[in-house]
């Protein structure tokens, strides 16, 4: 068993990696709103249902960044993998002392469930959803929002890396984005 240092779960086959700092962003000016930390997450079951993995990327306002990925040692569905990815992301943010959080993921299910917009939660996943709501509350200022898959490429790359898969090719402009509901 390989203990997962991010989610606290003891699971086999884990991979955890850290990146080097990226180029610096402009720091906040004194008296201005604090710049948010940016957090992306992605989870997958390959096939669905099947073995699960997640990837997360955290960027500090000063440009430092952290990346982690992990192959989970049990099977589940893609929605469970996405929820576990958000858990890992929130725990990484807490570990790094992140303040104001701007959280992005490409799972409508996770965003709707955790933000409380769904009338019902899948009973098997309800305890995990409640745990995530608690972590979001503990974080303080945190906003969780959906982004199209092409805007979540780094987290997807990390998730695929945990499976030992190559990154997906770059998207074709205008294809694959979610269309607004009429």
Instruction: Please report how many Cα atoms fall inside a 13 Å half-sphere around the Cα of residue 151, on the Cβ side.
Output: 14
Which H helix or E strand runs over 114? helix 108-114
Note the pLDDT tens digit of each residue in 147-175.
999 999 999 999 999 999 998 887 677 66
**Is pLDDT at 24 greater than 60 in this prediction?**
no
The mean of the pLDDT values for the chain is 83
Note the pLDDT tens digit of each residue in 39-94.
999 999 999 999 999 999 999 999 999 999 999 999 999 999 999 999 999 999 99
Q: What is the mean pLDDT of residues 19-44?
A: 68
Percent of the chain with pLDDT over 70: 77
Pick the more confident residue, 178 or 179. 178
SS3 state of residue 60: coil
**What pLDDT was estimated at residue 97?**
95
**Is pLDDT at 17 greater than 70 in this prediction?**
no
């Amino acid at each position: 068993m390989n203990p997962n240092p991010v989610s606290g779960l003891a699971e086999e086959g884990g991979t955890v990696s850290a990146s080097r700092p990226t180029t610096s962003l402009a720091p906040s000016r004194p008296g201005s709103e604090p710049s948010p930390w940016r957090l992306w997450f992605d989870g997958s079951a390959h096939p669905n249902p099947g073995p699960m993995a997640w990837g997360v990327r955290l960027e500090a306002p000063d440009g430092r960044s952290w990346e982690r990925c992990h192959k989970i040692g049990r099977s589940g569905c893609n929605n469970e993998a996405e929820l576990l990815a958000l858990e890992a992301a929130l725990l990484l943010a807490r570990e790094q002392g992140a303040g104001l959080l701007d959280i992005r993921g490409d799972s409508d299910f996770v965003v709707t469930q955790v933000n409380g917009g769904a009338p019902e939660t899948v009973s098997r996943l309800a305890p995990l959803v409640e745990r995530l709501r608690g972590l979001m509350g503990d974080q303080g200022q945190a906003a969780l929002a959906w982004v199209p898959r092409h805007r979540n490429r780094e987290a997807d790359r990390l998730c695929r890396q945990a499976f030992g898969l190559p990154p997906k090719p770059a998207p074709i402009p205008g294809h694959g984005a979610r269309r607004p509901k009429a």
